[in-house]
Copies of this chain bind each other. A is one copy, B any other.
Amino acid sequence: MNPSLPTENSPTTNETPLAGSPAFSPLYQQIKVLVLQSLQQGEWKPGDPIPSEFELAARYKVSQGTVRKAIDELAKNHLLVRRQGKGTFVATHAEQQVQFRFLKLKPDVGDIASQGPAKRDIIDCRRLQASSELAQTLGLLTNDPVLQIRRVLSFGGTPTIFEEVWLPGQPFKGLTAERLRADTGPMYALFETEFGIRMVHAQERIRAVNPSLEQAHWLQVDASTPLLRVERLSFTYQETPMEWRIGVYRTDQHHYMNELN
């Protein structure tokens, strides 16, 4: 009946081989996994349209309603974008509405656009070997090659964010400071267009700190100015960690905005 599906679970009742073992996944969840695999394997690239609901229903041998439920959830997770009358598309960080989806720092007055475009200054981009901690965080081996990017973001002429970004060397082979400086858009958009890597989800840990000397220098503040220190671990499809980032944020004219639901 569903030859292309990984597990068969239509008959009378779902087998529960071990007590407490789940061993049951609704069809639409299985469809989600299959779609995710196609996304991960690059069958559909960021910005591309995916097949219509009816085509997918035919491909997976399920009803259109089941495909719909799977896509609904992926769209709510911002992995796909639905456009009525046009189709369903692979989401991208380049879209205007979500330009700064992972940047929660907002100006105290006005919005992010009112101060003109952000100025992005790449300090450097170096090839390093992963420390054991970094390797563990990114799912690498100690001493595996990594890239470290350091940069300053300025809003309205004021340096506001200084951050260090670490990326696994393998998937980002060929990334250089020159390549980064040539680009004026969000870094995450460049990751998608140049390397086909889309950051899907991230978690941040935030503390209040005083800056190091280096941080104070780049942000033009003195050593007693309290700053937000934001650690971010970003994930691509399938919860694969792909980026580690430590930023310090000035909060004299900005604040970190968060919605609790």
**Residues of A near any B CB (own CB < 8 A):** 77-78, 101-102, 104, 201-210, 224, 226-228, 232, 249, 251, 255-261
In contact, A204 and B77 (Cβ under 8 angstroms): no
In contact, A205 and B101 (Cβ under 8 angstroms): no
In contact, A257 and B207 (Cβ under 8 angstroms): no
- For A104, what are the chain B residues with a Cβ–Cβ distance below 8 Å? 258, 260
Instruction: Return the chain B residue nearest A106 by Cβ.
Output: B205
Complex CA gap A256/B257 in Å reads 12
One of B227, B255, B260 near A101 (C-beta < 8 A): B260
Instruction: State the Cβ distance, A207 to closest chain B Cβ, in Å.
Output: 4
Q: A201-B260, A224-B224, A226-B227 are in contact. Are A251 and B78 (CB under 8 A)?
A: no
One of B224, B232, B251 near A207 (C-beta < 8 A): B251
One of B203, B232, B251, B260 near A203 (C-beta < 8 A): B260
- For A227, what are the chain B residues with a Cβ–Cβ distance below 8 Å? 208, 226
Instruction: Return the chain B residue nearest A257 by Cβ.
Output: B205
Instruction: State the Cβ distance, A231 to closest chain B Cβ, in Å.
Output: 8
- For A232, what are the chain B residues with a Cβ–Cβ distance below 8 Å? 260
- For A226, what are the chain B residues with a Cβ–Cβ distance below 8 Å? 208-210, 226-227
Complex CA gap A228/B229 in Å reads 10
Instruction: Return the chain B residue nearest A248 by Cβ.
Output: B208
Instruction: State the Cβ distance, A161 to closest chain B Cβ, in Å.
Output: 13
Query: Residue among A101, A205, A260, A261 with the most chain B CB within 10 A?
Result: A260
- For A228, what are the chain B residues with a Cβ–Cβ distance below 8 Å? 206-208, 228
Instruction: State the Cβ distance, A133 to closest chain B Cβ, in Å.
Output: 14
Complex CA gap A201/B259 in Å reads 8
In contact, A256 and B206 (Cβ under 8 angstroms): yes
One of B202, B208, B224, B251 near A260 (C-beta < 8 A): B202
In contact, A207 and B260 (Cβ under 8 angstroms): no
In contact, B203 and A259 (Cβ under 8 angstroms): yes
Q: A224-B224, A226-B226, A227-B226 are in contact. Are A206 and B255 (CB under 8 A)?
A: yes
In contact, A258 and B209 (Cβ under 8 angstroms): no
One of B101, B203, B208, B260 near A209 (C-beta < 8 A): B208
Q: A224-B224, A226-B227, A227-B226 are in contact. Are A257 and B203 (CB under 8 A)?
A: yes
Residue contacts A-B, CB under 8 angstroms, 22 given: A77-B261, A78-B261, A101-B260, A102-B260, A104-B260, A201-B261, A202-B259, A204-B257, A204-B258, A204-B260, A205-B255, A205-B258, A206-B206, A208-B208, A208-B226, A208-B249, A209-B226, A210-B226, A224-B224, A226-B226, A228-B228, A232-B260
